[in-house]
Amino acid sequence: MRIVSELVASTISTELAAMSSAIALVFLLFQLLLAVASAVPDSSCLTKCGDVDIPYPFGVGINCSWGIRFNLTCDEVETGVKKPFLFNVEVHSISLLMGQLRFLNPISSACYNTNYNNVTYTSWWINFEDTPYRFSDLHNKFTAIGCDTLAYIIGSHESNISYQSGCVSMCEDEESIVSDSCSGMGCCQTSIPKNLKFYEVSFDEYFNNSAIWRFSRCSYAVLLDAEWFEFQTSYITTTQLMQINSGGRVPVVIDWAIGNETCEVAKLNLTSYACISNSSDCVESSNGPGYLCNCSKGYQGNPYVSDGCQDINECNLQPNPCSDGICQNLPGNYSCDCPEGKHGDAYNGTCIPNQKLSLAVKAVIDDCATLCCFLDTHENIAEPKEKQYPEVLFMSSKDPPRSLSQYPTRLSA
């Protein structure tokens, strides 16, 4: 009886284990289906918010993006005007090819208050810890503006290593300031390190504008897109800088990437690999961990969606890549041929006319061709059998006598 009970228990245990495995397998398949579904945005997903294009892996709504870290909101900032936001910061533009986005970064300020004889500070910080975003070291510069200013940028980068730098800007009066120049007189800039994921602005209290408040009451500092910025003297003498983009916000460039794996590792798991389009390539992130997807050479589009990379018809480009040649589009490429009657290098636009012959020369060539044809025909006629002739001795009185063996004994027709 005991043996039967053990057998029954063993059978039930085996069946339960099998059932558990089946349930786990079904759950795993369901999760994989969800993962694949989330990688293909629904046709109802927004592709634009206001004037900003929103390409996948970004999206408005968790079901329209690669994940929560790429999830945007499309908010109405005023009647009839919508703008996209990421982590409550306004997104200015998104680039799939460069793996970058631009958003509007608030300007920190330190303004001297003549009524209370003190300084009012407004300081901002941004933290990208545990996100796929990093401040671009190639495009951004920490910028300080003022005539009695020492501003610090405090942050962390690789492996949470602390980082601190500063920028000092001085000027005695308004006349010493020069527009379009950011070299220490009213404006200064400094570079930032790679992989910067957190930054905060602070001001040195010793530099407080108290001695120059009559022509420059405030100092400013912000991390911004250096290519966008152009220093103006009015930023020192007025509050014009704080009026940019409705409240003193300037573009900053953010690098982004997929995950924290290399391309080699990411390709091992096709269920989570982001470069799903045909004719797409994986590219290592240049700023921090992770990777990006680009369309292969000769293709364009979105490599993060199925069939997102489409062939570029180079023959429709302006200017024509074949110059005055004949362009033929090929998958991911094109070819150039010279037009009929020309020869040369059509890729470099050096097709030249074929050499034209004069009528007289052409007539001679035609006659020669006819003669060659006649001779060739004559040579191909079967030769008659060799005729036999009697031995004949030809002698000349001018020639010395020859032996018979020196003369031919047979002639051929």
- CATH number at 317-363: 2.10.25
Coil, helix or strand at residue 382:
coil
Residues 156-166 as b or e (16 or more Cβ within 10 Å = b) = bbeeeeebeeb
Coil, helix or strand at residue 129:
coil
User: Start-end ranges of CATH 2.10.25 in the chain?
Assistant: 262-312, 317-363
Residue type for 86, please? L
In the block, tokens 């010793």 appear at 206
Q: Kindly tell me the burial class for residue 50, based on how many C-beta atoms sit within 10 Å of its own C-beta (0-12, 13-18, 19 or more).
A: middle
Give 157's pLDDT tier (boundaries 50, 70, 90): confident
- What token pair was written down for 353? 């006319």
Nearest to 76 by CA among 64, 62, 60: 60
Strands (E), 114-212: 118-122, 125-127, 133-135, 140-145, 148-156, 162-170, 187-190, 198-203
User: What pLDDT is attached to residue 405?
Assistant: 45
Other Cβ atoms closer than 10 A to 169: 27
Coil, helix or strand at residue 36:
helix
Q: Residue 284: is its pLDDT beyond 70?
A: yes
CA distance linking residue 41 with residue 44, whole number of Å: 8
CA distance linking residue 196 with residue 129, whole number of Å: 10
Percent of the chain with pLDDT over 70: 76
Q: Residue 207: is its pLDDT beyond 50?
A: yes
Torsion sign across C-alpha atoms 226, 228, 229, 230: positive
Question: What pTM did the predictor assign?
Answer: 0.73
Please give the torsion angle defined by the CA atoms of residues 313, 314, 318 and 324, in that order, rounded to the nearest 10 degrees: -120
Torsion sign across C-alpha atoms 268, 269, 275, 278: positive
Q: Tell me: domain 262-312, CATH 1.10.390, correct? A: no
Question: What is the rounded average pLDDT of the residues 271-284?
Answer: 96
Q: Residue 200: is its pLDDT beyond 90?
A: yes
Coil, helix or strand at residue 91:
strand
pLDDT tens, residue by residue, 214-230: 889 999 999 999 999 99
